[in-house]
Chains A and B, each alone.
Chain A
Amino acid sequence: QKEVEQDPGPLSVPEGAIVSLNCTYSNSAFQYFMWYRQYSRKGPELLMYTYSSGNKEDGRFTAQVDKSSKYISLFIRDSQPSDSATYLCAIVGAGSYQLTFGKGTKLSVIP
């Protein structure tokens, strides 16, 4: 079983829709959770960072962590065409330098 599983999509939604992106992980030692957004041919940029179970909100973005289920989600409200990108989850354990990334979900928001 891979350490981090992420559905690669592609996911296509109409403008204004609520988007749900998800990752599951297998190692309960993972304690820190991040979401990155990567536009085509660009480097990933950090969107959200959280370390506790529950929700963290930042504008239209909400990161949700359920440690008991080893499941993390990113919700995008009122999606915009500019949200079209690949979204990567990244997870790291305490005391580790190494982020473990999901393979990314490609999202297209159609005007």
Chain B
Amino acid sequence: SQTIHQWPATLVQPVGSPLSLECTVEGTSNPNLYWYRQAAGRGLQLLFYSVGIGQISSEVPQNLSASRPQDRQFILSSKKLLLSDSGFYLCAWSIQRTTDTQYFGPGTRLTVL
């Protein structure tokens, strides 16, 4: 069976500090990978998705970036965090086909102070 991991689970960072969130998927090969942010009252916002190693598509311009150094590893980064980056960050995967269901990880709760 497939498993998706995210870490850390919780993070408190000062404004202007860097960020690195990691997501890994087990039990499947060549998945589509996604980063979402969930802010209170605003629903789930797709930030990035990737269909393969080194292939990243950005949905929303911002001070965040994503990388996929390995087939089942997806990293969300920032050089300098803003207060508005606070939120619940979710990684998801789907099989290598469009319109398929996405399966979410446990999430990372980020608070920027």
Contacts and interface: CB of A to CB of B under 8 A. Distances in A.
Contacts of A98: 46, 49, 59
A103 B107 contact: no
A42 B98 CA distance: 25
Given A49-B101, A94-B99, 15 more contacts: A36-B104, A42-B106, A42-B107, A43-B106, A44-B44, A44-B104, A46-B102, A90-B102, A95-B98, A96-B98, A97-B32, A97-B57, A98-B49, A99-B102, A103-B42
Interface residues of B, number: 24
Given A46-B101, A96-B99, A101 B44 contact: yes
Interface of A: 8, 31-32, 34, 36, 41-46, 49, 88, 90, 92-99, 101-104
Interface string B74-113: 0000000000000010100000001101111111010000
